[in-house]
Structure 1
């Protein structure tokens, strides 16, 4: 055994992240938009003594509820996607007509990839699926699914917590609301900046676009009485 092969065997297996950059940024932005909308709605109906604290707990409750709902929907999407892929694999494996199996694989390709994939490539995939002996009868959850759901819950709650924090630290509701909205726009810019760098769309352009979207949403909330 040569040194290169020994080195590869000694290296620990790298596990891909459960949530990629787009997932993380998207979930954070959804949480920020939800908190921004909810805080505006609560402000319209909250008054009297300890109004700022009431808004803090309302915003925090919104974050918790949104994080929980998003985590559950992540599990639903994950299982549905896995079931769809498994159904395709089982269909191809059980299809006695090789041409029909290749057509099923082609129909499942994204439209943009269709012209780039030859039937010979799909035939190789069909052969491997036909020989597979480890396909489960149905889609099931795995441990990493629940780790990913927990990650989404924590990302939404902790990532949007600064939006609610001014209502705990500042007694004046109007000042706290301004601080909350400024923090939200700053976090949206950061999220857009990261997404722009990841996608190659331009960091500053994406950051400004995400901030502009937040500004438009804030204006709409104010016009609606929030």
Structure 2
């Protein structure tokens, strides 16, 4: 996918994932934390026979709502970012002064990239942008955007089940709470391992850190009334 959001390579094997490792893990953890806020307040749930079901459906309803909101905001963020890139591209293409076009490209770059790319490389990019006849007039969604939004929704909702489903499967609330906590720690540890490998850290160190941070964050959310 290029700067304007159009896919240049049609070969499926060449396509990048619609969500990278960080996006997938963070969305899963987001859903996990949302579900944990309900599990963390299990003592406030009545002792009736349907207490576990109420816990599960309340957590599921919350994550359905937040999964939808997160997916929609992803689409909004994607469209705005793509629109900004297209604005820069049109500005560069319509700019008769090559030096001004290079400056526009440099201003649009991330700060950490600016020392790494010289004006010669930017001029080459400017010429390619200026020569493109197929720049769309406005930002539009592409198929991968909708797939990514749907993936976000599914990840947030799916995180509900390991945390809240034990309260449906086990009538004994302390047992359900124990199973839920064990599954939560395992998921947090696995998420940390995935992020650690992606970032070049030691996997088990990152896993332990993520588990500790996740537990502390959940406690803070509950304490703040989340």
Q: TM-score range with shorter-chain normalisation?
A: 0.7 to 0.9
Distance (Å, rounded) in 2 between the aligned partners of 1:56 and 1:102 = 56
1:72-221 → structure 2 map (5 Å cutoff)? 72-220=72-220
Deviation (angstroms), 1:37: 1.9
Q: Is the contact between residue 34 and residue 59 of structure 2 (CA under 8 Å) also seen in structure 1?
A: no
Instruction: Give, in angstroms, the shift of residue 178 of structure 1.
Output: 3.1
* Structure 1 unmatched runs, 5+: 1-10
* Alpha-carbon offset, residue 181 of structure 1: 2.4
Question: Does structure 1 conserve the Cα–Cα contact (< 8 Å) formed by 2:164 and 2:180?
Answer: yes
Task: Verify the 8 A CA contact 1:193 1:207 in the aligned structure 2.
Answer: yes
d(CA) in 2 for partners of 1:225, 1:156: 20
Q: What is the deviation of 1:166?
A: 0.7
CA distance in 1, matches of 2:138, 2:222: 49
TM-score, normalised via structure 2 length: 0.87
Q: Aligned equivalents of 2:68 and 2:222: distance in 1?
A: 27
Please, which runs of 5 or more residues in structure 2 have no aligned partner? 1-10
Task: Give distance in 1, aligned partners of 2:169 and 2:222.
Answer: 23
Q: String of CA shifts for 1:64-92, please: whole Å, max 9, x gaps.
A: 12221121111111111111111111111
* Deviation per residue, 1:21-44 (Å, 9 max, x gap): 111111111111121124335x36
The structural deviation recorded for 1:45 is 4.3
RMSD: 2.1
Q: Report the Cα distance in structure 1 between the residues aligned to 2:134 and 2:225, rounded to whole angstroms.
A: 58
Distance in 1, Cα, partners of 2:192 & 2:165: 22
Structural mapping, 1:15-26, within 5 Å: 15-26=15-26
- Kindly provide the CA deviation profile for residues 135-162 of structure 1, in whole angstroms up to 9, marking residues without a partner as x: 1111001112111111111122224311
SS in 1 for 2:115: helix
Range moving further from structure 2, 66-75 or 171-180: 171-180
CA distance in 1, matches of 2:35, 2:118: 47
User: Alpha-carbon deviation of 1:195?
Assistant: 0.9
Moved more, 153-162 or 91-100: 153-162
CA 139–212 in structure 1, closer or farther in 2 if over 3 Å, else same: same
Judged with a 3 Å threshold, the aligned counterparts in structure 2 of structure 1 residues 117 and 216 are, in CA distance, closer, same or farther, namely: same
